[in-house]
Amino acid sequence: MTVNGSKPKFAMYWAASCGGCEIAVLNTHEKILDVDANFDVVFWPVAMDAKYKDVEAMEDGSILLTLFNGGIRNDENEHLAKLLRRKSQIMVSFGSCACEGCIPGLANLSPVGDIVHAAYNTITTDNPNEIYPRISYDVPEGELHIPKLAKVLRPLDLVVDVDCYMPGCPPESHQIAAVIDLVIKVVKGEAELPPKGSVIGAGDSTVCDECPRARNVKSIKEFKRIQDIAPVDPDLCLLEQGIPCNGPATRSGCNARCPAVGAQCIGCYGPAEGVMDYGARLITAFSSVIDANTTEEIDRILDGIPDPTGQVYRFNLAGSLLKANRDAWKVK
Amino acid sequence: MTDHNFEPTIIGFTCNWCSYRASDLAGTARMKYAPNVRLIRLMCSGRLDPTFVLRALSEGADGVMITGCHPGECHYIEQNYKALRRFLLLRRVLTGLGIEPERVKLVWASAAEGARFASETTAFVEEIRKLGPLNWGKDEGERIKDEEGNKNSSFIIQPSSFEKEVPA
């Protein structure tokens, strides 16, 4: 359990994310005590007080495991990603934001100026003088800085090397518990870490494979939003009922939690094994269930999906082929 | 588009049974058409995974042409209808991503329609020439790289993004 006489070090950091990933880690209940028993938690801003300079002072490679959640949206995120990469032996891209951009990645559809404008000057924001944040500001004690926004949100692996990916928004707690067990075994020398680039804590099939709903021939005349259908058949495939369900393209691992309780899969576990572009796979899946052969009729059915881009790239936009042109954006 | 030297790069996905033969026919009949299209033969337009189109656009293509048998004439009975459905949904998604949907075109051409294949190709190339280069991602990426290289302005909001900035 000990490495060089002391417990191995553990870190967790959040970049552009909502904090749900940390909640999911705490949702492992008593398993979190195993983390404490087996690791020395050196850096976890959500759970404990720590300063960036403490991390900067650590020896390179001295942290065994870092769970990094959140995408890279500003220069602070980028600094921490590069810093923790240097200090860590195993860097896990943890959660959908780090793996593929997730909801914050949808902001890549808008220019940065529009995003700032929407945040500080919309109908819900009382800002009559149009006061906007400034990158730096002089106070008597010195100059203060806030992080600078990047043009686009990038998934973690476009900024630094990543050893393992753990998808999910957030990753399911039972999957996190299994990964914690695995890493502890690795530390004890009882197991080996999967090869670099592996997806851990998830299945290798699709949500449909885990879904308990009955599947028949899919042939639909209309796409409808789930709230417009009453009642939803509790046992029949949602896609067959005309509800755009993202299950066919989405990686398994969540036990089909949403479809099992009557809500369509929205795709938070990201692309299934072997899928190069999540949206493209979903376009294929939706197209194959449409029961129409003329342009007019197909268009009428497609009108039932009001926001096709958001529908097929809700979690994957920043990680998709087009919004994250990997060759062009690779600036590690 | 001000650049008059712009030559569009077009990727064409053709069906083995009709449009690929149509392009053959156009060639053997010595028909003239724009040389900008690079053809990739599929067994059927139904084989066309939208991933192919997105990959082509992300790797530098300015437009993608998908060709297949006329409706009702598919060698595999009805797969060209599936291509049509994918094409229509793909165009909607591309529009949402800020890409002109006209950059992806679907053409039906039978094996006998060499002339149609040639004229549709030429028309498509001219349309893309008017739209200009796609430069998807590259533009953004190059800019990021430039800024990375320049220590004074690393990876930041451009001041122009903050035009509305008002001193506090």
- pLDDT tens sequence across B4-27: 688 999 999 999 999 999 999 999
Is B141's CB within 8 Å of A299's CB? Answer: no
The alpha carbon of residue B79 is apart from the nearest alpha carbon of chain A, in Å, by 10
pLDDT surpassing 70 at residue A328: no
Residues in chain B with CB shorter than 8 Å from the CB of A293 are 71, 78, 81, 84
Per-residue pLDDT at A17: 93
Provide the residue count of chain B: 168
Question: Is A151 close to B140, i.e. CB distance below 8 A?
Answer: yes
pLDDT in tens, B99-157: 899 999 999 999 999 999 999 999 999 999 999 888 664 444 444 444 444 333 333 34
Of A278, A318, A275, the C-alpha closest to A71 is: A318
Mutate to test the interface with A, among B11, B155, B158, B160 (most CBs of A within 10 A): B155
Smallest CA–CA distance, residue B25 to chain A, in Å, is: 28
> B141 and A312: CB-CB below 8 Å?
no
Q: What mean pLDDT value characterizes chain A?
A: 90
Cβ distance B160 to A113 less than 8 Å, yes or no, reads: yes
Strand partners, A290: A220
pLDDT digits (tens, 9 = 90+) for B48-104: 999 999 999 988 899 999 999 999 999 999 999 999 999 999 999 999 888 899 999
Q: Which residues of B touch A310 (CB under 8 A)?
A: 96
Per-residue model confidence (pLDDT) at position B157: 42
Chain B residues with CB inside 8 Å of A283's CB? 50, 86, 89-90, 93
Distance from CA of B168 to the nearest CA of A (A): 6
Angle between helices B79-96 and B50-58 (to 10 degrees): 40
B19-28 helix and B114-131 helix, angle to the nearest 10 degrees: 100
Does pLDDT of A329 surpass 60?
A: no
pLDDT of residue A120: 85
A77 min Cα distance to partner chain B (Å): 12
Tens of pLDDT along A136-192? 889 999 999 899 888 888 899 989 999 999 999 999 999 999 999 999 999 889 999
Is A150–B156 a contact, with Cβ atoms under 8 angstroms apart? yes
Which two tokens mark B36?
């900008």
Q: What is the pTM of this model?
A: 0.88
Provide the CATH topology of domain A9-104+151-202.
Rossmann fold (3.40.50)
Cross-chain Cβ contact B138/A328 below 8 Å? yes
A/B interface, count of CB pairs below 8 Å: 151
In chain B, which residues have their Cβ closer than 8 Å to the Cβ of A75?
Answer: 154-156
For the cut 50, the answer to whether the pLDDT of residue B160 exceeds it is no
Split at pLDDT 50, 70, 90, the class of A325 is: low
pLDDT at A125: 82
Is a pLDDT exceeding 90 seen at residue A265? yes
Nearest CA in chain A to B48: A284
**Domain boundaries defined on chain A:** 9-104+151-202, 111-149, 207-319
Q: Does the structure show a pLDDT above 80 at A331?
A: no
pLDDT at B4: 63
**Cβ-defined contact of A137 to B93 (cutoff 8 Å):** no
**Contact: A111, B161; criterion CB under 8 Å:** yes
Task: Sort residue A142 into left (φ over 0), alpha (ψ -120 to 50) or beta.
Answer: left
Determine the pLDDT at residue A118. 83
Residues B158-168 have a mean pLDDT of: 38
State how beta strands A63-69 and B10-15 pair. Answer: unpaired
Residue type, B105: K
Q: What is the pLDDT of residue B153?
A: 33
Q: Name the residue among B81, B137, B157 with its Cβ closest to that of A325.
A: B137
Helix (H, G, I), strand (E, B) or coil at A281: helix
| Best B54, B57, B93 residue to mutate vs chain A (most A CBs within 10 Å) | B93
Using alpha carbons, list the distances in angstroms from residue A331 to A63, A80, A88, A104, A250: 24, 15, 20, 20, 28
Contact A284 B50 (CB under 8 A): yes
Separation of alpha carbons B85 and A290, rounded Å? 8
Q: How far apart (Å, rounded) are the C-alpha atoms in residues A151 and B155?
A: 8
- Tell me if residue A66 falls in helix, strand or coil: strand
* A interface test, pick of B47, B62, B91, B97 with most A CB neighbours within 10 Å: B97
Chain A positions in Cβ-Cβ contact with residue B166 (cut-off 8 Å): 129-132
- Contact between A308 and B58 using a beta-carbon 8 Å cutoff: no
Closest by CA to A204, choosing from A254, A140, A252, A260, is: A252
Domain B10-134 sits in CATH at 3.40.50
Which residues lie closer than 8 Å to A271 by C-beta, 6 or more apart? A100, A249, A250, A251, A277, A278, A281, A316
Residue of B nearest to A134 (CA): B165
**Residue B125: predicted pLDDT:** 96
Query: Is the Cβ pair B161, A290 closer than 8 Å?
Result: no
pLDDT at A5: 60
Q: Do B97 and A109 touch (CB under 8 A)?
A: yes
Inter-chain CB proximity B156 and A283 less than 8 Å: no
pLDDT at residue number A330: 41
Tokens of A174: 């039972």
Higher pLDDT, A282 or A230: A282
- Residues in Cβ contact with A32 at an 8 Å cutoff, skipping those fewer than 6 apart: A25, A26
Of A152, A283, A331, the CB nearest to B89: A283
The pLDDT, as a whole number, for residue B1 is 46
Contacts of B123 (CB under 8 A, 6+ apart): none
Domain-wise residue ranges, chain B: 10-134
> Per residue in B24-50, pLDDT tens?
999 999 999 999 999 999 999 999 999
